[in-house]
């Protein structure tokens, strides 16, 4: 299944590379890819996506790819050509979908699909015990009873928003969120300057550690209020800096440029720049996968 997910995700990435995407549309693509990655039943999720108007056309195309990968025998000699064909077909459908949604609407649609799946999953108490016969002999049918497992569960984003609205005395976190843009961008230029010094092998261990911690903190705040791409870029840079400090990663030219790609994505997304940053995002994410899996020989 992981291979199937990777094929579909890479097909979407290849298709998006042929489109001129704004930062908002890049966020949508990232959310779509994340949903596919985290899916525990891709066939069912694609079927549900086909029922959502703005996702239906793309979902139909993705389902065709899924069927190709899971049904019948795959000709490995034509596998690469087939991938190019699938990616090419996706361009039009992906573009159509991106014109109809934004990060908030697609996130809402994907959340509804997940909630629907959760509500349709029988609870352990119901499975195999639809009928309960009490001692008085009356038979009670519980098969149609609806369970609300998490009626009051709130996301971190909702909790923070409520705190901002209801609290008279705002704490440091609330103030940070109010000034999110300035706080996130504040360390970027100094960090970029330090990266250029690192490329010259001029390493100040304390400075590296300080920036690693700042990026870690800012990444956590970004994640809390729902900025997933920004959070991911911070996480990659923070991890790389910690590794550089412990000498597990050498700051060569490829490493520095990959980290700077993360910074470029952060600035572009925060400021809402209407420029194509797909190549920077792809480079940053690939670097993140490599340091996460410790494939350091590929980047040093």
DSSP assignment of the chain: -HHHHHHHHHHHHHHHTTS---HHHHHHHHHHHHHHHH-S-HHHHHHHHTTSHHHHHHHHHHHHHHHHHHSS---GGGHHHHHHHHHHHHHHHHHHHHHH--HHHHHHHHHHHHHHHHHHSPPTTTTT--EE--TTS--EE-TT----S-TT---HHHHHHHHHHH-SS--HHHHHHHTHHHHHHTTHHHHHHHHHHHTTT---HHHHHHHHHHHHHHHHHHHHTT-HHHHHHHHHHHHHHHHHHTTSS---HHHHHHHHHHHHHHHHHHHT--S--HHHHHHHHHHHHHHHTT-GGGT-
Residue 206 has pLDDT above 80, yes or no: yes
Domain boundaries, the chain: 2-119, 177-298
**Helices 253-271/228-245 angle, 10° precision:** 150
Residue 44 has pLDDT above 50, yes or no: yes
**Percent of the chain with pLDDT strictly greater than 90:** 18
Residue 262 has pLDDT above 90, yes or no: yes
Q: How confident is the model at residue 136, as a pLDDT? A: 44
Residues 2-34 pLDDT 10s: 788 888 988 898 888 888 888 888 888 888 988
Residues 166-179 pLDDT 10s: 554 444 444 444 57
What number is the average pLDDT over the span 196-205? Answer: 82
Confidence tier at 164 by pLDDT (50, 70, 90): very low
Average predicted confidence (pLDDT) for the chain: 78
Confidence tier at 121 by pLDDT (50, 70, 90): low
Contacts with 144 (C-beta within 8 Å, 6 or more apart), sequence order:
none
Q: How confident is the model at residue 200, as a pLDDT? A: 79
Residues 219-250 pLDDT 10s: 988 887 778 888 899 999 999 999 999 989 98
The CATH number of the structural domain formed by 177-298 is 1.20.120
């Amino acid at each position: 299944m992981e291979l199937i997910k990777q094929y579909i995700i890479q097909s979407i990435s290849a298709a998006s590379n042929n489109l001129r995407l704004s930062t908002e549309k890049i966020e949508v693509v990232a959310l779509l890819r994340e949903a596919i990655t985290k899916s525990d039943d891709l066939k069912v999720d694609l079927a549900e996506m086909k029922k959502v108007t703005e996702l239906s056309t793309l979902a139909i195309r993705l389902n065709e790819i899924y069927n190709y990968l899971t049904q019948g025998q795959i000709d490995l000699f034509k596998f690469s050509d087939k991938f190019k064909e699938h990616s090419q077909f996706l361009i039009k459908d992906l573009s159509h979908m991106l014109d109809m949604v934004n990060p908030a609407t697609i996130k809402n649609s994907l959340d509804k699909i997940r909630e629907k799946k959760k509500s349709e999953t029988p609870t352990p108490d119901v499975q195999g015990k639809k009928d309960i016969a009490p001692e008085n002999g009356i038979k009670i049918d519980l098969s149609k009873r609806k369970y609300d497992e998490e009626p009051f569960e709130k996301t971190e984003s909702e909790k923070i928003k409520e705190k901002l609205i209801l609290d008279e005395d705002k704490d440091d976190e609330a103030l940070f969120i109010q000034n999110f843009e300035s706080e996130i961008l504040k360390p970027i230029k100094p960090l970029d300057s330090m990266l250029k010094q690192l490329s010259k092998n001029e390493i100040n261990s304390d400075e590296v550690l300080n920036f690693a911690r700042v990026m870690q903190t800012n990444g956590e705040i970004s994640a809390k209020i729902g900025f997933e791409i920004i959070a991911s870029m911070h996480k990659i840079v923070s991890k790389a800096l910690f590794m550089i400090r412990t000498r597990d990663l050498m700051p060569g030219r490829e490493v520095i440029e990959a980290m700077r790609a993360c910074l470029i994505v952060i600035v572009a997304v925060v400021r809402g720049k209407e420029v194509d940053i797909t190549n920077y995002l792809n480079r940053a994410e690939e670097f993140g996968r490599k340091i996460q899996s410790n494939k350091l020989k590929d980047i040093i």
